[in-house]
Amino acid sequence: MGKKRTSLVNVLFGWIKRHSMKVKVFLGTLAALGSLVVLKYLVRDHGSFFVASETIHALGILQKFVDEQQKKEIKDILVRYDRTLLVADPRRCEPKKFGGGGARARFQKSYR
């Protein structure tokens, strides 16, 4: 086959993996703040952020509706195939009680 290469990303994630959760949270927060500062000074037209956020929200809502539609189609196919695949029947045989007949024999006495 071939040799496994060590990439910069693998080395970085290996270094982060060895540290505690506090360090990981601090590094994540630092990266988020750093990226916001870089965006603040590099982007000239800040109105495009509004358009980008609108687009992202629209795509998220669209994906939600697509997922729900696919879920409904799959459910309909399963119901047409076999109704018991979606809802399990929880009724089971009740175990026999001690010192008597069957499971509910004490309620069903016959005095003949």
DSSP for 45-97 reads -THHHHHHHHHHHHHHHHHHHHHHHHHHHHHHHHHHH-GGGTS-----PPPPP
For residue 33, the enclosing domain spans 7-42
Angle among Cα 42, 55, 47 to the nearest 5 degrees reads 40
What is the pTM for the complete model shown?
0.35
Same domain for 52 and 31, yes or no, is no
pLDDT of res. 92 = 78
Give a yes or no: residue 111 inside a domain.
no
Same domain for 53 and 25, yes or no, is no
Residue 78 is encoded by which pair of tokens?
A: 């399963």
* pLDDT one-digit tens code per residue, 62-92: 888 888 888 888 888 888 887 766 667 677 7
Give a yes or no: residue 108 inside a domain.
no
Q: Pick from 18, 21, 41: which is nearest to 29 by CA?
A: 21
